[in-house]
């Protein structure tokens, strides 16, 4: 398995603060290749021996802006069983509903664009419903919960120029942890 040739922007890159533009269909061949490369990269980052071989950080999601392209596209690769993966390709997402229940990732959220230790919690909705399009331009609705809900919200934030560190209270990084459920 060969590592796809992707350059992931670092948090210092101002492009990460851009609001991404809606995608028009049909998507280009280049977009299809980028999407496949992103999915492959994330999958490889979740397989221990490949992560070590290529010195990767494990990642679950990647938005288009993280590879320097301001289009409203993100992908999520969810390991459902040992080396079995579910791929999500989400184009022009809109959150149409969200649970009132808030959750946070106990060990802290991570991001392939933030290459440093971060402390604090990021409040996320436990469940969200998203309307989006697939690679062929077909509309669909998906309801995600728990880890997937966190990943989808994290990537949608990227499309809006927001990094997860923006959501951590610098004065009180664990603020309101007692009012949310840890996952």
Active site residue ranges:
155
Q: Which of 10, 30, 13, 1 is CA-nearest to residue 115? A: 10
The sign of the CA dihedral 30, 20, 64, 183 is negative
Pick from 60, 93, 87, 78: which is nearest to 159 by CA?
93
Please name the residues in contact with 17: beta carbons below 8 A apart, sequence gap of 6 or more.
161
In angstroms, the CA 26 to CA 155 distance is 22
């Amino acid at each position: 398995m060969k590592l796809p040739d992707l350059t992931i922007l670092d948090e210092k890159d101002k492009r990460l603060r851009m609001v991404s533009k809606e995608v028009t269909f049909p998507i280009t061949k280049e977009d299809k290749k980028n999407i496949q490369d992103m999915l492959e990269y994330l999958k490889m980052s979740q397989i221990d021996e490949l992560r070590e071989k290529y010195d990767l950080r494990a990642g679950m999601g990647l938005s288009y802006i993280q590879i320097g392209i301001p289009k409203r596209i993100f992908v999520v690769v969810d390991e459902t069983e040992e080396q079995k993966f579910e791929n999500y390709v989400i184009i022009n997402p809109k959150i149409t509903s969200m649970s009132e229940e808030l959750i946070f990732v106990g060990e802290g959220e991570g991001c392939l664009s933030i290459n440093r230790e971060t402390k604090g919690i990021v409040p996320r909705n436990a469940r969200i419903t998203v309307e989006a399009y697939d690679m062929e331009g077909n509309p669909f609705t998906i309801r995600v919960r728990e880890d997937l809900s966190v990943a989808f919200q994290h990537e949608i934030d990227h499309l809006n120029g927001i990094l997860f560190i923006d959501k951590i209270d610098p004065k009180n990084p664990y603020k309101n942890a007692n009012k949310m459920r840890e996952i």
